[in-house]
Amino acid sequence: MTSETTGTGSTFGRVGIWSSALHASRVDDAGGKAIAEALAELDDLGYGTVWIGGSPTPGDAAAVVAATRSITVATGILSIWNHTAEEVAAAVSAIDPHARRRFVLGLGVSHGPMVPQYAKPYSAMVEYLDALDAAEPSVGSGHRVLAALGPKMLKLAADRSLGAHPYLVTTEHTAEARAALGPGALLAPELTAVLNTDLDRARTTARTMLGMYLQLPNYTANLLRLGFTEGDFDGGGSVRLLDALFALGDAEQVTRRTREYFDAGADHVALQVLTADEGGAGLPRAEWRELAEAFGSEL
């Protein structure tokens, strides 16, 4: 794999699906079959990209690529602390060359409380990208994106990759990220949706997910920079915070919220769908179908 751009940056589509339930390495044979069937349907529904969330392994990524035909596949994100650059480059090179053109390596530095060896994350990312460039074969800038929140990492994303894949961000952050990246880099924020017209219940579902992330300083520091306060983090998130971070309501409301991110400068939005009964960890295929119908040609 060379450092040349394969064109994947132009084939993310406008809307993708982000899911942490696509790890074949974490399920039995029946679970693997369910993942493969869900991926085949996402391919058919017309989404531009499927994002493998929850710190996937290179093997998880290869399995998703193998289970799909035309959709772009991206890791969202693979932690640089879990796998060496050489291991990742070797795994990427083992993917079928034709299918490999659809794969984008999303990389991130994760979070201090989750990584015992966490130190100097910016420098660690620079060193990791250098190692990917030097690998044989390499995984160059045209085949990767970075999870980036702050100005330094956003600039690095623009300089050393296709662009940025920020997670748990507002439209205000999207506008700031677009300004930091410049006009040419990809900006593909994640947006979490709860398809429930009972807003109290929708917010309860959102808080179940958000509470974990509010324990991670990279996210809380970013939210504080955006004007939220420590009080907004109490009880799993204030109404103000929830309404800024999530798309809550019916499919039409989700499409409206997604367009707000496009208006703020996003090129692509990666939708994560939470359901109360699955706790956000399942394969919400009915909701994926409903959203695909609502977006229609916008996908």
Report DSSP state, residue 76: S
Q: Determine the Cα–Cα distance for residues 214 and 207; give it in Å rounded to an integer.
A: 10
- Residue 134 makes CB contacts below 8 A (sequence gap 6+) with none
Report DSSP state, residue 231: G
pLDDT of residue 281: 58
Query: Tokens 């079959």 identify what position?
Result: 33
Domains and CATH numbers, the chain: 13-293 (3.20.20.30)
pLDDT of residue 4: 41
- Residue of 175, 149, 134, 147 whose CA lies nearest to 74: 147
Q: Determine the Cα–Cα distance for residues 272 and 236; give it in Å rounded to an integer.
A: 18
Using DSSP's 3-state secondary structure scheme, residue 275 falls into coil
pLDDT of residue 231: 98
pTM of the model: 0.95
Query: Tokens 């109404």 identify what position?
Result: 239
pLDDT of residue 3: 36
pLDDT of residue 90: 97
Q: Where are the alpha helices (DSSP H) in 214-271?
A: 217-225, 239-245, 251-263
Q: Where are the alpha helices (DSSP H) in the chain?
A: 29-45, 58-66, 85-93, 97-100, 121-134, 151-160, 171-181, 199-213, 217-225, 239-245, 251-263, 285-295
**Per-residue pLDDT for the chain (299 aa), expressed as one digit of tens each?**
433 444 444 589 999 999 999 999 999 999 999 999 999 999 999 999 999 999 999 999 999 999 999 999 999 999 999 999 999 999 999 999 999 999 999 999 988 677 788 899 999 999 999 999 999 999 999 999 999 999 999 999 999 999 999 999 999 999 999 999 999 999 999 999 999 999 999 999 999 999 999 999 999 999 999 999 999 999 999 999 999 999 999 999 999 999 999 999 999 999 999 998 754 458 999 999 999 999 999 99
Q: Determine the Cα–Cα distance for residues 99 and 276; give it in Å rounded to an integer.
A: 35
Q: Determine the Cα–Cα distance for residues 84 and 135; give it in Å rounded to an integer.
A: 11
- Kind of pairing, strands 72-75 and 78-79? unpaired
DSSP 117-140: T---HHHHHHHHHHHHHHSSS---
Q: Determine the Cα–Cα distance for residues 217 and 115; give it in Å rounded to an integer.
A: 13
CB distance 91 to 61 below 8 Å:
yes
pLDDT of residue 5: 44
Residue type, 8: T
Q: How far is CA 235 from CA 63, 167, 215, in A?
A: 38, 21, 12
CB distance 96 to 73 below 8 Å:
no
